[in-house]
């Protein structure tokens, strides 16, 4: 057979396989697509965007509902990430560290010192590792300590979830590298991974594409124009672009193997803490806790990596399995967003132990 015909039939075969895969996926997720609008209505959740990773590929991405009072959500609608911004901020740092520009254990005080703690000698001990493992010694936000940043404990001695820590890391990176954090994110993460719809700060090009917040009293709030990145949240992104970020991790992209191993190694075991706080304490794995930016769930059969997010008007989830190269990103607006998120997670087949730990408690 002439080579040109061989090539022709090979191309036909590739196209046919791709079409068959698409039909299989369309059928596989039809139930999900049919059910989601029902769940939105049932739980008074205006909008959700979903991205599913399977076998190392994004196989499903769809938005449902309204992004604002009269505007339908689309696959290009940017949702407010809430705290699932933190793993992405951690990734920016790890990529910079892999380039030799920063170090996990350097003292941040050399490039940033918050005025509130300038006279506290413990400020000189703070490192990026303390931030990424939530061991800064800060409360979550300074409003919890009379509006002033202060240490509740010595850095590196105990896990204490802190958004202030991530803000501290962002200011350190900006001070040391002399660039706004969003620019650093664009250079080392967004552009290399073709993440086109994401930003930690307001972008005019995203006007009319941003989901509004939806509060428990039924009121909407228009998107704020954030001018300065704070790393712990504030990230605007689509579910698909967040899934691209997860894929880059699954593909072990642009971070050294040493740092990636550290990222998914538990810093301080939180088993006892899990049993006190979890929705279903019996589901707590014996090994659980923060690595670098992500929470690591060391179940007996599988290690699951994940992070949740919650603002008053948004709820989000990002979770994946390095072993199976599967993942799920769900971003919602509305205080009841978790009700929809975990219905989707159950439908998708996310590890049941993870769902038992994170799903909302029954009222």
DSSP 242-274: HHHHHHHHHTT-SS-HHHHHHHTS-SS--HHHH
Q: Over 90: is that where the pLDDT of 338 sits?
A: yes
Percent of the chain with pLDDT over 70: 92
Q: Model confidence over 76-122: pLDDT tens digits?
A: 999 999 999 999 999 999 999 999 999 999 999 999 999 999 999 99
Four-CA torsion 128, 132, 133, 136, nearest 10 degrees? 50
Question: What is the reported pTM?
Answer: 0.92
What CA–CA distance (Å, rounded) separates 287 from 134? Answer: 17
- Based on its alpha-carbon atoms, the radius of gyration of the chain, rounded to whole angstroms, reads 21
Partners of residue 335 on adjacent β-strands:
none
- Burial pattern 262-287, b for ≥16 Cβ within 10 A else e, equals bbbebbeebeeebeeebeeeebbbee
| Cβ pair 320, 305 in contact under 8 A | yes
Maximum mean pLDDT: which of 10-14, 52-56, 250-254: 52-56
pLDDT by residue (tens digit) across 200-245? Answer: 999 999 999 999 999 999 999 998 889 999 999 999 999 999 999 9
Report whether 50 contacts 75 (CB < 8 A).
no
- Would you say residue 19 has pLDDT above 70? no
pLDDT band at 5 (very low <50, low <70, confident <90, very high): very low
pLDDT of residue 24: 45
The pLDDT tens digits of the residues spanning 284-327 come to 999 999 999 999 999 999 999 999 999 999 999 999 999 999 99
CA distance 352 to 358: 10
Query: What pLDDT is attached to residue 9?
Result: 47
- As a whole number of angstroms, the distance between CA 293 and CA 85 comes to 9
Q: Determine the pLDDT at residue 79.
A: 98
Average pLDDT of the segment spanning 177-195: 98
pLDDT band at 131 (very low <50, low <70, confident <90, very high): very high
Cβ atoms of residues 331 and 49 within 8 Å: yes
Determine the average pLDDT of the residues in 268-281: 89
pLDDT at position 361, please?
75
């Amino acid at each position: 057979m002439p080579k040109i015909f061989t090539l022709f039939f090979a191309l036909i075969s590739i196209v046919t396989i791709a079409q068959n895969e698409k039909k299989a996926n369309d059928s596989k997720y039809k139930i999900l697509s049919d059910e989601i609008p029902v769940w939105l209505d049932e739980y008074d959740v205006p909008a959700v965007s979903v991205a599913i990773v399977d076998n190392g590929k994004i196989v499903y991405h769809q938005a449902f509902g309204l992004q604002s009072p009269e505007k339908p959500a689309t696959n290009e609608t940017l949702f407010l990430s809430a705290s699932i911004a933190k793993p992405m901020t951690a990734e920016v740092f790890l990529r910079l560290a892999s380039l030799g520009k920063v170090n996990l254990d350097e003292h941040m005080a050399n490039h940033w010192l918050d005025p509130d703690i300038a006279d506290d000698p413990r400020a000189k001990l703070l490192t990026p590792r303390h931030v990424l493992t939530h061991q800064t010694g800060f409360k979550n936000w300074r409003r919890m300590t009379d509006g002033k940043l202060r240490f509740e404990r010595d850095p590196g001695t105990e896990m204490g979830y802190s958004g202030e820590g991530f803000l501290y890391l962002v200011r350190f990176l900006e001070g040391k590298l002399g660039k706004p954090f969003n620019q650093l994110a664009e250079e080392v993460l967004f552009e290399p991974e073709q993440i086109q719809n994401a930003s930690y700060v307001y972008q005019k090009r995203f006007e009319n594409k941003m989901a509004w917040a939806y509060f428990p009293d039924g009121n909407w709030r228009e998107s704020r124009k954030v001018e300065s990145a704070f790393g712990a949240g504030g990230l605007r992104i689509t579910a698909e672009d967040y899934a691209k970020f997860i894929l880059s991790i699954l593909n072990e992209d642009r971070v050294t193997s040493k740092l990636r191993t550290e990222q998914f190694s538990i810093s301080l075991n939180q088993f006892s803490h899990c049993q006190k706080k979890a929705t279903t304490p019996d589901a707590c794995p014996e090994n659980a806790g923060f690595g670098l930016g992500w929470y690591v769930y060391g179940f007996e059969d599988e290690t699951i990596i994940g992070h949740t997010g919650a603002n008053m008007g948004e709820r989000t989830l990002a979770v994946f399995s390095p072993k199976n190269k599967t993942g799920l990103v769900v971003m919602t607006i509305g205080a009841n967003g978790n009700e929809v998120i975990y219905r989707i997670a159950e439908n998708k087949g996310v590890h049941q132990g993870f769902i038992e730990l994170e799903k909302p408690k029954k009222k």
